[in-house]
Each structure stands twice: as structure tokens, then as C-alpha cells.
Amino acid sequence: MSRRRYVPRGVPGGYRIRDNKGRRWWGDLYQLCPDDLVAELNGDANHEKITALLKRYRALRR
């Protein structure tokens, strides 16, 4: 099994997604662990699905 590029990390206030290849944070701060978003980023990386998931998680923050 290969190393995952995007990994959710617990930080104060929620979760952030860590890009292991770029060695930086990716995306916003999430209150809930974005498992389906991370799975899509590490898997097929379908742009439409990623956009829909980002919109869903942003709507949960409001």
C-alpha cells in the first residue's frame, strides 16, 4: 500500500488536511473529520466531486 498524500490531522478547533507531498496544509479548518473528502483526494480526484464536498463542508460551518 502506498503512502497517502492527503491526511486529516487533528488541530485545536477541528481538523485540517495535510498535503504530505507539498508539506503544507490544504483547504480550510473543518469541525468534523472530512473522511469522504480525503478519500476522494487520495483516490480518483474527480474535480466535480471534490467541489461538491467542499461546498457541503463549507455549508456545515455556517
Q: Is the pLDDT of residue 43 over 90?
A: yes
Give the position of cell 483516490: 43
pLDDT 10s digits, 22-42: 999 999 999 999 999 999 999
C-alpha cell at 60: 456545515
pTM, rounded to two decimals = 0.87
Among the listed residues 12, 13, 54, 5, the one whose alpha carbon sits nearest the alpha carbon of residue 34: 54
**Does the structure show a pLDDT above 70 at 1?**
no
- Provide the terminal-to-terminal Cα distance of the chain, rounded to the nearest Å: 37
Q: Parallel, antiparallel, or unpaired: how do β-strands 24-30 and 6-11 relate?
A: unpaired
Domain extents for the chain? 6-61
Please identify which residue in the block is written with the cell numbers 473529520: 33
